[in-house]
Amino acid sequence: MTKVLSVTSECVPLVKTGGLADVAGALPGALAGHGVDMRTLLPGYRAVVAQLATREVVAQWDDLFGGFARVLKGALGDQVLYVLEAPHLYDRDGGPYVDRLGRDWPDNPERFAALCSAAALIANEGIEDWFPQVLHLHDWQAGLTPVYLRELGAADRVATLMTVHNIAFQGMAPASLLPRLGLPRSGFHDKGYEFWGSISALKAGLVYADRLSTVSPTYAAELMTPEFGAGMDGVLRERQQDLLGILNGIDEDLWIPPYDAPEGKAAHRAALRHELNLPDGWPGPLCVVVSRLTEQKGLDILLQALPALLDRGGQLALLGSGDPAMEAAFRAYADRHPGVAVRIGYDEALARRLIAGGDAILVPSRFEPCGLTQLYGLRYGTLPLVALTGGLADTVINASPAGLAAGCATGVQFQPVTAQALAHALMRLVSLYQQKPVWTRMMANAMASPVGWSQSATAYAALYAQMVKPA
């Protein structure tokens, strides 16, 4: 049994701002059947502590970055959860990273250095007579852990895996905080955690962790290029032998289609059109979008490419929020076109109805480390139309002539990520939809796609086993 401590800043169902939370919440249960005892360490945000059914204290420190802290034991499904309760750092209104006005908490460097320090202390001292053999570190919030582990003299006993979920977030802090964060100045250089004159928690993890991973094979390759590496591409090229791409999965017990075969979608499509006041009888597909409205997600080029769908009898139903100008543009489109329905905000129940009732789900992202939306689409037979990038490239089989001839296509891919290429892909989508036997076969292929955690859990378990250091 390999003992792994997962160190994360968010985790479903306790706190979520993005896909990291889904991964952190799903991995422990998925790995339980693969010889891995994974426990999770999570900051004790006010909302997280409030959700704990029990509050057994299993560790404590008198001074952790400015105040008393303790570790509370809880449960994450059938697995063990450790919550780092440090009121001076986490007991406040607002989100995990920003206040109610959307501003970064000014003490974020200390808040997540405390999480890293606690992880290193647990690895060094054990907790409940349990000593992790591997620390699985998620994104910049856990990136300083290998440094603290070295300072404690435990790096030769405990292995570290640093996983990049989104390299755009790098945990920057001014160099003046080196003493405050307990970081040795000897590591503040271009081969350490210095980045353009500042401290980068992400770079610390990329440089000092034993192994590196990210959430799809294609994204792993993309990260080593200037276009996608966000300034860290050189670091990653130096460590490419230690970098592995392992796809995320979805919880198939939580995402269960309300039908077993492609034919079952019709009733849900009709119900969705009725709910959103979209007219029936249009010859094209009902396309859905469930997304943040940002340029990263490619929603700006969707606005430009929409006529290619709407002029051919397709429809669009969108749920999301983000850039105010983009929100206004989609609302304006809906006001002037009967084939477009827009809901600004996020509603989990509506998101599921969109995926169940839509014919296709559009994910035109400029970059997408893995993506979960297209996996939900596959599970529901809602064919993904995706940009050829990151995990989108790895999970969707394109309806190319070869893919169609082999009978294995599950969606439509396009490149480059431009409005013209997306418009062409939308025209292909409409053409495929009008070939009912072809479309039905693609739906069946999609619904049979492996989108759960089984394959990925096997890969993680093998990686952990390789990483365990001699006692």
At 29-59, the pLDDT tens digits run: 999 999 999 999 999 999 999 999 988 999 9
User: 382-392 pLDDT, tens per residue?
Assistant: 999 999 999 99
Look at residue 254 and tell me whether its pLDDT is greater than 90.
no
Phi-psi region of 42 (alpha: psi -120 to 50; beta: other; left: phi over 0): beta
| pLDDT in the model for residue 335 | 96
Q: What are phi and psi of 316, to 5 degrees?
A: -130, 130
Mean pLDDT, range 439-446, rounded to an integer: 98
Distance, CA of 71 to CA of 110 (rounded, Å): 17
Q: d(Cα 467, Cα 158) in Å, to the nearest integer? A: 9
pLDDT band for position 328 (50/70/90)? very high
| pLDDT digits 0-9 by tens, 401-413 | 999 999 999 999 9
The whole-number pLDDT of residue 329 equals 97
Cα separations (Å) of 72 from 44, 60, 89, 387, 438?
9, 9, 15, 43, 54
Q: Which pLDDT belongs to residue 288?
A: 98
| 444 Cβ neighbours under 8 A, 6+ residues apart | 261, 262, 381
Identify the pLDDT of residue 442.
Answer: 98
Mean pLDDT throughout 245-249?
A: 96
pLDDT one-digit tens code per residue, 13-25:
999 998 899 999 9
Tell me the domains of the chain and their CATH numbers.
2-249+454-467 (3.40.50.2000), 262-447 (3.40.50.2000)
Containing 344, the helix (H) or strand (E) segment is strand 340-344
Query: pLDDT at position 372, please?
Result: 93
How many CA atoms, within 13 angstroms, populate the side-chain half-sphere of residue 113? 22
Confidence bin at 155 (pLDDT 50/70/90): very high
pLDDT of residue 143: 98
Q: Is the pLDDT of residue 253 over 90?
A: no
Instruction: Report strand pairing: 340-344 vs 243-245.
Output: unpaired
How many Å apart are CA 381 and CA 122, to the nearest integer? 44
Mean pLDDT of 301-311: 97
Q: How many whole angstroms from its chain centre is CA 90?
A: 23
pLDDT in tens, 418-431: 999 999 999 999 99
Rounded mean pLDDT of 145-166? 97
Phi, psi of 11 (to 5 degrees): -165, 125
- pLDDT of 54: 86
Q: State yes or no: pLDDT of 325 exceeds 90.
A: yes
Determine the pLDDT at residue 18.
85
What per-residue confidence (pLDDT) applies to 471?
A: 78
pLDDT over 90 at 258, yes or no: yes
Residue 130, beta-bridge partner list: 127
Question: Considering the chain, what is the average pLDDT of its residues?
Answer: 96
Give the pLDDT confidence score for residue 284 in this predicted structure: 97
16 in a labelled binding site: yes
Give per-residue pLDDT as tens, 95-132: 999 999 889 999 999 999 999 999 999 999 999 999 99
User: Burial level of 349, CB count in 10 A (0-12/13-18/19+)?
Assistant: exposed
Which residues contact residue 431 at a Cβ distance below 8 angstroms, ignoring those fewer than 6 apart? none
Looking at residues 256-263, what average pLDDT do you find? 96
Instruction: Please give the pLDDT value at position 19.
Output: 86
β-bridge partners, 36? 2
Q: What is the pLDDT of residues 63-105, one digit of tens each?
A: 999 999 999 999 998 999 999 999 999 999 999 999 998 899 9
For the stretch 215-228, pLDDT in tens is 999 999 999 999 99
